[in-house]
């Protein structure tokens, strides 16, 4: 079955965990507001050359590879240590953070070392422990009680609200990335639909996602 007459299709590249944990659960709101727009998502973990890629836009973090693209700032991602509540004891939470296994992400191997320096919490062997590629994997490991993951709060807001995960430690003030919507330097035939998607995305971040981004 083809696309309905008058419909518009956007192909958007996006970071996988942002897609699965934040964007996709909210897309029904886009469909309600713009029923003629269909958004197709593809996971991309690394920056790439957008021009000629077949994508209308990218949701990704700031990077020199995007030079020359039209950039719309979306939000600042800040990392927060989280773990399964069963792992905590009556000890001081900072001592427990030093003793618990710490879950790493391969793309950011120095995150825990930088967190220790920024927070003032002493962590021994901050570079040692299990490593995963994606935040989604680190979150799954934390939910399984494998240790403490340091992940964006916006990805675990549901688990924090339900008590499936806890975060007794402060968020990092230095471990942050700017997320942006990146568009080709030249406008294309899908520009009107892309404009509507951008407007919806910004409104959703300001209204629906404000708490999770703090």
Q: Could you identify the residue written with the tokens 């989280």?
A: 82
Domain around 37: 8-76+176-213
Over residues 178-197, mean pLDDT: 90
154 Cβ contact partners less than 8 Å away, ≥ 6 residues apart? 21, 22, 75, 77, 209, 212, 213
Residue 108 falls inside a structural domain: yes
pTM: 0.84
Verify that 108 and 129 share a domain, yes or no.
yes
User: What order do you get walking across the sheet with 57-61 strand by strand?
Assistant: 37-43, 8-14, 57-61, 176-183, 70-82, 148-152, 102-105, 131-132
- For residue 175, the model assigns a pLDDT of 67
State the average pLDDT over residues 144-153. Answer: 95
Burial label for 114, CB within 10 Å (0-12, 13-18, 19+), is middle
Quote the number of domains for the chain.
2
Q: How much is the pLDDT for 188?
A: 77
Are 56 and 82 in a shared domain? Answer: no
82: left (phi over 0), alpha (psi -120 to 50) or beta: beta
Nearest C-alpha neighbor of 69 from the set 79, 59, 84: 59
Mean pLDDT taken over the chain? 89
The answer on 108 and 58 residing in a single domain is no
DSSP summary character for residue 3: P
Would residue 199 count as lying in a domain? yes
Cα distance between residue 39 and residue 24, in whole Å: 10
180 and 155, same structural domain? no
pLDDT the model gives residue 126:
62
Tell me whether residue 169 is in a domain. Answer: no
Residue 212, pLDDT > 50, answer no
156 and 82: one domain?
yes
Residue pointed to by tokens 């949701």: 59
Taking phi first (over 0 means left), then psi (-120 to 50 degrees means alpha), and beta for anything else, what does residue 161 get? alpha
Q: What is the mean pLDDT of residues 81-89?
A: 97
Residues 72 and 88 placed together within one structural domain of the fold = no
d(CA 180, CA 71) in angstroms, rounded, equals 6
Q: Residue 122 belongs to a domain with what CATH number? A: 3.40.190.10
Residue 167 is assigned to a structural domain of this protein = no
pLDDT value of position 190: 87
pLDDT band at 89 (very low <50, low <70, confident <90, very high): very high
Name the residue with higher pLDDT: 207 or 39. Answer: 39
């209308």: which residue's tokens? Answer: 56
If asked whether residues 70 and 25 sit together in one domain, one would say yes
In this structure, are 141 and 83 located in the same domain? yes
């Amino acid at each position: 079955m083809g696309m309905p007459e008058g419909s518009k299709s956007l192909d958007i590249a996006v970071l996988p965990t942002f897609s699965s944990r934040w964007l996709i659960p909210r897309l029904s709101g886009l469909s309600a507001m713009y029923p003629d727009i269909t958004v197709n998502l593809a996971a991309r973990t690394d920056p790439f050359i957008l021009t000629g890629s077949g994508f209308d836009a990218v949701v990704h973090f700031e990077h020199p590879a995007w030079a020359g693209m039209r950039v719309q700032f979306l939000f600042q991602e800040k990392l927060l240590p989280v773990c399964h509540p069963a792992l905590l004891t009556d000890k001081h939470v900072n001592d427990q953070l030093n003793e618990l296994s710490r879950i790493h992400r391969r793309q950011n191997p120095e995150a825990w070392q930088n967190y220790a320096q920024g927070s003032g919490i002493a962590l021994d062997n901050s570079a040692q422990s299990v490593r995963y590629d994606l935040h989604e994997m680190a979150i799954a490991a934390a939910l399984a009680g494998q240790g403490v993951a340091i992940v964006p709060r916006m990805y675990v807001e549901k688990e924090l609200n339900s008590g499936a995960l806890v975060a007794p430690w402060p968020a990092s003030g230095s471990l942050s990335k700017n997320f942006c919507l990146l568009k080709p330097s030249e406008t294309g035939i899908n520009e009107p639909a892309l404009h509507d998607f951008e407007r919806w995305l910004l409104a959703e971040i300001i209204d629906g996602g404000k708490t999770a981004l703090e």
